Structure 1
Amino acid sequence: MNRLWTPAWIVRHVAMVVLVAGCLGLGWWQVTRAAGGNAISFGYAIEWPVFAGFVIFVWWREVRQALRGKPADDAQQPGDPAPSAAAGPEPVDAVPAVRRPVRVVRVPAAPADGADDAELAAYNRYLSWLNANPGARPGDYPG
Structure 2
Amino acid sequence: MKRLWTPAWILRHVALVVLVTGFLALGWWQISRAASGNTLSWAYAVEWPIFAGFVVFVWWREVRHALRGTRAAPPPAAAPGGPAPAGTTVGPTTPAVRRPVRVARVPAAPVDGADDADLAAYNRYLTWLNANPGARPGDYPG
C-alpha distance in structure 2 between counterparts of 1:40 and 1:102, whole Å: 56
User: Match of 1:50, SS?
Assistant: helix
User: Match of 2:43, SS?
Assistant: helix
Counterpart amino acid of 2:78? Answer: A
Q: What residue is the counterpart of 2:80 in the other structure?
A: 87
Q: What residue is the counterpart of 2:2 in the other structure?
A: 2
1:9-32 CA-to-partner distances (Å, cap 9, x unmatched) read 000000000000010011001001
- When normalised by structure 1's length, the TM-score is 0.55
* Equivalent residues, number: 96
Q: What residue is the counterpart of 2:46 in the other structure?
A: 46
Runs of 4+ residues deviating >3 angstroms:
none
The answer to whether the 8 Å contact 1:34/1:40 transfers is yes
1:45-70 CA-to-partner distances (Å, cap 9, x unmatched) read 00000000000000011111111112
Distance of aligned partners of 1:4 and 1:48 in 2 relative to their CA distance in 1, 3 Å threshold:
same
Max Rg structure: 1
C-alpha distance in structure 1 between counterparts of 2:35 and 2:76, whole Å: 63
The answer to whether the 8 Å contact 1:69/1:75 transfers is no
Q: What residue is the counterpart of 2:123 in the other structure?
A: none
Gapped runs of 5+ residues in structure 1?
A: 77-81, 106-143
Distance of aligned partners of 1:101 and 1:34 in 2 relative to their CA distance in 1, 3 Å threshold:
farther
Distance of aligned partners of 1:87 and 1:68 in 2 relative to their CA distance in 1, 3 Å threshold:
same
- When normalised by structure 2's length, the TM-score is 0.55
Distance of aligned partners of 1:8 and 1:38 in 2 relative to their CA distance in 1, 3 Å threshold:
same
Distance of aligned partners of 1:98 and 1:40 in 2 relative to their CA distance in 1, 3 Å threshold:
farther
Q: What residue is the counterpart of 2:18 in the other structure?
A: 18
